[in-house]
Structure 1
Amino acid sequence: MKLTGREKSELFFEGVVTVILLLLLNLSIVVLINSAIAHNPGLQSGIFQIKRSIKIGPTNYQLWSYENLFIALMLVADGFVLYWRLIRRYKQMQLRHIISELHYIAAGHFDHRIGFSLTGDTQRVVESVNALVDSAIHSMDEEREIERSKDALITNVSHDIRTPLTSIIGYLGLIENKQYQSEEDLLKYSHIAYLKATQMKSLVEDLFEYTKVRQTDTPLAISRLNLTAMMEQLAASFELEAKKKGMQIEVESGAESLFIEADAEKLGRVFNNLIANAFKYGAGAKHIFLQAEQRGSEVIIHVANDGQRIPADSLGRLFERFYRVEESRSKATGGSGLGLAIAQSIVQHHGGYIYAQSDDELTSFVIHLPIKHGQQLVKTAANRAN
């Protein structure tokens, strides 16, 4: 930390004043001691005997002048006092600089940090202040991001609800004003309104589910779950829909059953969303593969299909709310755009993580879940890019 010219002068003046005060104090003490000794013959005799008995060094040097010894001791004490006062004043100047820096940051210069290096506790104060400012700025950025996220959520929900709602009002208006030519037209208009209302209901349910699973304090109904049996049940429940789409669901989990501690209902929602996602967007797919394997203290699950490849630049955004890959994920499919975001939130709530991989052969959603509830898995370096 560099001192200003005024501070250097202040420090010099402090030193000069301290030296003057110490000299006056020393002179006063010497005068008082000499006066006391001069008026007390017994004290003079005692001091003389002490001086004769004290010998210093190999030459047996005797102290004949106690004033010299006293002055030497006083100079040492004066040096400590002078050093202490100058250091104390210097630390006060350091604190003034720190306070000045804080006022500068508080004035709106949030990218500024206290840059000078000090020693001891003062340096820890500087580091703590910088860390506190970083934490505050990070919190402010997170708050802004949350606000932007809320605004985007409201905008997207409003847009996605307004589109089918406009159609519903339009067709119901035709029915209300009897602007139809036949009963067939009436049934057509009411059917379209019903489909649009169903689409709105699906969006609202997905939005409710998304906001619910995003709340980290929402408790999980943890139980010991047979993952193998669960995947087989899911495959059976989707078998009819798969046949209608000309697809086949295959389950691979090894000879032995896999057990994990998880919320069966919410984990089932993850599988439902991923399988439904494959039905809607796996253009040209003939198979959906459900695979699970245990690796150490975690279970790795693959939900894959052999449909159209997802572009590499879209893989990292698949789990964003309302994100749809161009062309293959148009709103014509009727999806809310929240299914993968819901799946990611549920997996993270279980202490795991999920990512997507896609090539010309398979598009896979890979889930890593801890076997024991309460563990937190860390995404490995090999998967950070996904």
Structure 2
Amino acid sequence: MFYLVLILLICSVGINIFIFQSRVKQRTEVKYIRNKLRAIIDEETGERLLLYTDDKYIKSLLIQINRLLEHNQKTVANYNNIELSMRKMLSNISHDLKTPLTVILGYSEIINNDKNLSAEKVMSLLKTINLKTVEVLDLINRFFELVKLESGDKKLNSSRVDICEISRKIILDYYEILINKEFEVAIEVPEEPVFVRGDEDAIERIFNNLISNAIQYGSDGKMIGLKLRTDENNVYIDVSDKGKGINELHKDRVFERMYTLEDSRNTNYQGSGLGLTITKRLVEQMGGSISLNSVPFQKTTFTVGLKRIRF
């Protein structure tokens, strides 16, 4: 009996020692986690919690904390990208507004102060003022359209749309411009109707943005292409040109807010940088996709994919 009691006592002491050591180790691990988290937050590092432990609860806690840290770092990175993008957008808007507004102010002062101007000269200056005013209004309207799209305030309607009919209509709208600029026009649009589900006004805006973009930036190639192709589930619209194109360094950025190539800041390639961003948002709101493939001075193609319907 004595030996049984002694064995039980020894076991009890051993268990208590094990529990004590486990608690000490657990406290040490929790203390490490606390201190490391504090350092990561205070120093804003991208570290993770790395700790070898046999405790399954500590392991589970570490996994969830690291998931939270990763999510937080992605959120911070996204916020920083948006903030940088907004700063660039505001900077570019200021630039694009300043130029026409300076012209408007300067020409209006000339008309107001120079009493010897001929009627013909006044009319010429007023025509320029009018053009620059339209330019300012267009930029402001584009900016607010993008704000509405990104905030979710602009809701698109959904209906059955014959994409072939819209294609032919839009290209006819540009017929005179293309003829005057001596562009070669390559059109591949099926004669039979092809239907997509989307907002007709938004689809027309997408066509207008892409075609005007091809005319503006692809003018060196003197060619514009519009091709409609389909598969079982999708309709693809290719708008192409043979102009200076977009090299690999810029391809992933052309859809960013207010992003423009350096050439777009001169008189030959003036652009607000909002057209393609608006186009991308409109396509995405209709559940579609847009991509770019470009070989400078050979072929640059923007491809829009929309869901096909058959009724």
TM-score bracket for this pair, using the shorter chain length: 0.7 to 0.9
SS in 2 for 1:82: helix
Q: Distance in 1 between matches of 2:14 and 2:224?
A: 86
1:320 aligns with 2:256: yes
Q: Distance in 1 between matches of 2:293 and 2:116?
A: 50
Whether contact under 8 Å (1:305, 1:364) holds in the other structure is yes
Shift of 1:211: 1.9
Q: Distance in 2 between matches of 1:258 and 1:283?
A: 30
1:301 aligns with 2:218: no
1:176 aligns with 2:176: no
SS in 2 for 1:214: helix
Shift of 1:365: 0.9
SS in 1 for 2:151: coil
Larger Rg: 1
Q: What residue is the counterpart of 1:356 in the other structure?
A: 292
Q: Where does the alignment leave 5 or more consecutive residues of structure 1 unmatched?
A: 1-65, 373-386
Shift of 1:250: 4.2
Whether contact under 8 Å (1:251, 1:290) holds in the other structure is yes
1:208 aligns with 2:140: no
Whether contact under 8 Å (2:283, 2:304) holds in the other structure is yes
Q: Distance in 1 between matches of 2:249 and 2:30?
A: 51
Q: Distance in 2 between matches of 1:146 and 1:315?
A: 19
160, 167, 171: which is aligned to 2:96? 160
Please tell me the residue identity of whatever aligns with 1:234. I
Cα 1:314/1:109, change in 2 over 3 Å: closer
Q: Distance in 1 between matches of 2:18 and 2:200?
A: 71
175, 187, 202: which is aligned to 2:123? 187
Report sequence identity in percent. 27
Deviations 1:200-236 (A, max 9, x none): 1111122122222223464321112221222122122
Q: What residue is the counterpart of 1:337 in the other structure?
A: 273
Residue correspondence of structure 1 range 367-386 to structure 2 within 5 A:
367-371=304-308
Shift of 1:276: 0.9
Q: Distance in 2 between matches of 1:281 and 1:109?
A: 43
Q: Distance in 2 between matches of 1:109 and 1:337?
A: 33
Whether contact under 8 Å (1:114, 1:126) holds in the other structure is yes
Q: Distance in 2 between matches of 1:145 and 1:358?
A: 26
Residue correspondence of structure 1 range 59-78 to structure 2 within 5 A:
66-78=1-13
Q: Distance in 2 between matches of 1:74 and 1:224?
A: 83
SS in 1 for 2:219: coil
Residue correspondence of structure 1 range 128-167 to structure 2 within 5 A:
128-167=64-103
Shift of 1:196: 1.0
Cα 1:112/1:350, change in 2 over 3 Å: same
Whether contact under 8 Å (1:288, 1:303) holds in the other structure is yes
Q: Distance in 1 between matches of 2:27 and 2:79?
A: 36
Shift of 1:74: 4.2
Cα 1:209/1:178, change in 2 over 3 Å: same
Q: What residue is the counterpart of 1:225 in the other structure?
A: 161
Cα 1:273/1:259, change in 2 over 3 Å: same
1:289 aligns with 2:217: no
Shift of 1:273: 0.4
What is the aligned residue count? 307
Q: Distance in 2 between matches of 1:160 and 1:136?
A: 36
Please tell me the residue identity of whatever aligns with 2:308. I
Please tell me the residue identity of whatever aligns with 1:79. G
Please tell me the residue identity of whatever aligns with 2:231. R
4, 8, 29: which is aligned to 1:94? 29
344, 365, 368: which is aligned to 2:302? 365
Please tell me the residue identity of whatever aligns with 2:209. N
Q: What residue is the counterpart of 2:62 in the other structure?
A: 126
Deviations 1:352-381 (A, max 9, x none): 332222334422111223337xxxxxxxxx
Whether contact under 8 Å (1:216, 1:349) holds in the other structure is no
| Structure 1 stretches of 4+ moved >6 Å | none
- More divergent stretch after superposition (151-160 vs 335-344): 335-344
Shift of 1:326: 4.4
Whether contact under 8 Å (2:264, 2:270) holds in the other structure is no
Q: Distance in 2 between matches of 1:96 and 1:310?
A: 54
- More divergent stretch after superposition (178-187 vs 304-313): 304-313
Q: What residue is the counterpart of 1:108 in the other structure?
A: 43
Q: Distance in 2 between matches of 1:339 and 1:331?
A: 17
Q: Where does the alignment leave 5 or more consecutive residues of structure 2 unmatched?
A: none
Q: What residue is the counterpart of 1:11 in the other structure?
A: none
Q: Distance in 2 between matches of 1:83 and 1:323?
A: 64
Q: TM-score, normalised by structure 1?
A: 0.71
Q: Distance in 2 between matches of 1:244 and 1:141?
A: 48
Cα 1:180/1:351, change in 2 over 3 Å: farther
Q: TM-score, normalised by structure 2?
A: 0.87
